[in-house]
Structure 1
């Protein structure tokens, strides 16, 4: 079997695992159980332990000891991150059919001495669906809570946020093509379809638990990179529509079997966050 790490980092797979099996539960999972689960997607014990430790050090996981065993639970911060991912996967959808014609615009200028802040802001803007229109000016369709991003990073004094609608000669379609690489977005969805929309998706996987983890990781990475563009400005055969249907059908197909396997493998304890 091709290793999962050929396509995904261990942390990406870990976020999928935690989102499916630990989110909304007051539980912590035994590290040995996680190792057993991840062996199914060919992630090594060393990589699992390293990922768990790194996420704990970043304040995403809590450690709990019972005898010689170490269990990992979610912090409030991790629950927030995973909850946001779940909303993107299950509620937001892959295509924006309710656009109101408004654009949120974020302008900022940070010196080279604050390169780290600039990188963090750009990363958060991309996650929120913004594209770079021109130097220092980012845009996203719809009304976005850019203030939350700015305040969390402590950059309120360096950023200007406003909403607007384009005026002639500028059209919304022009903004989309300038700020977003629609060909690259479509190509990512087509790659997803090539992998999953066939008679035997991921044939090298040993079972539905492995398929479930890779499927969810594939899809979450897709929607994290998708700016959720207005449907009225996309082609009728926009591949995100078919890709979303494929994801939902396969996720439902794998759920029962994958959950049964996970129940056998995963050892949990009850904890309080």
Structure 2
């Protein structure tokens, strides 16, 4: 089962705990994923130009150094995801709403704030009004402050949210968020994780093969999880495919840790997360 992996993702996934990437290992893993050396070189050139990496040396003997040690999805975000899957984060029935009215003269700031609210899992109720079942005020306030539009934002909470006469929380969640699309991405993730777990347990993979599997998992996991609002289980169909898919990925991470030493920083950070779901 093939996984589409952007070249940039390969580079970022192979950042070691000391912030470096071994170019020889990078090219080897990229080649195993079907990428050409030229494709890798062009990607590195862009990353260096963007200031995300510096490069010492040339070709496969080069060492890349990341400008930031942060890799992949936020680790606390992932930990919360697995705690919620395990039933350790119960929903209190409170809807958290944010409204903003940023003037047209500040369209750039308005668009950036809206994009951040959607990225945090907010669902649009009306123009400039978004809802979440999570206490996201600090996140939204931080984004509003970064764009200097604090005075344009209003927060409120409700235990009696109604949209078009609908007030049942489960029905509201199905109406406000694209649950079918979210579920489809997790079904694919579950299938990829099941296939990669068989490979990891086969004992037939060398280090490059193990890292290829790790990168493929990281790419598919990110593709499934980034657009997921991580709704509480109380608002989702049961059983929820996202819980099953993420448990399968946790098993892969554990199997990977058992097989490979000196893992990239991304997988060191994720090691042990979700192990209760194995």
Q: Same fold (TM over 0.5)?
A: yes
* Residues 1:167 and 1:245: Cα distance change in structure 2 (over 3 Å): closer
Partner SS for 1:79: coil
Aligned-partner Cα distance in 1 for 2:222–2:93:
26
Of 210, 234, 237, the residue aligned with 2:236 is: 234
Counterpart for residue 147 of structure 2? 153
Aligned-partner Cα distance in 2 for 1:248–1:37:
22
Counterpart for residue 88 of structure 1? 77
Aligned-partner Cα distance in 1 for 2:249–2:144:
33
Contact 1:166 1:172 in 2 (8 A): no
Aligned-partner Cα distance in 2 for 1:111–1:38:
46
Q: State the TM-score, normalizing by the size of structure 1.
A: 0.74
| 1:195 paired to 2:192 | yes
* Residues 1:31 and 1:116: Cα distance change in structure 2 (over 3 Å): farther
Partner SS for 2:69: helix
Q: Deviation at 1:34?
A: 2.0
Which segment drifts farther, 253-262 or 128-137?
Answer: 253-262
Counterpart for residue 271 of structure 1? none
Counterpart for residue 220 of structure 1? 222
Of 37, 43, 47, the residue aligned with 1:55 is: 47
Q: Deviation at 1:67?
A: 8.4
Counterpart for residue 16 of structure 1? 13
Aligned-partner Cα distance in 2 for 1:40–1:86:
27
Counterpart for residue 69 of structure 2? 79
Aligned residues: 249
Q: Deviation at 1:236?
A: 1.9
* Residues 1:17 and 1:151: Cα distance change in structure 2 (over 3 Å): farther
| 1:65 paired to 2:67 | no
Partner SS for 1:255: helix
* Residues 1:201 and 1:242: Cα distance change in structure 2 (over 3 Å): farther
Of 100, 103, 119, the residue aligned with 1:127 is: 119
Q: Deviation at 1:234?
A: 1.6
Q: What CA RMSD, in Å, does the superposition of the two structures yield over aligned residues?
A: 3.4
Q: State the TM-score, normalizing by the size of structure 2.
A: 0.73
Runs of 4+ in 1 over 6 A off after TM superposition: none
Partner SS for 2:14: helix
| 1:44 paired to 2:36 | yes
* Residues 1:54 and 1:162: Cα distance change in structure 2 (over 3 Å): farther
Which segment drifts farther, 124-133 or 112-121?
Answer: 112-121
Q: Deviation at 1:118?
A: 4.3
Partner SS for 1:197: helix
Alignment of 1:155-194 (within 5 A): 155-167=149-161, 170-194=167-191
Question: What runs of 5+ residues in structure 2 fail to find an aligned partner?
Answer: 265-278
Q: Deviation at 1:186?
A: 1.3
Counterpart for residue 265 of structure 1? none
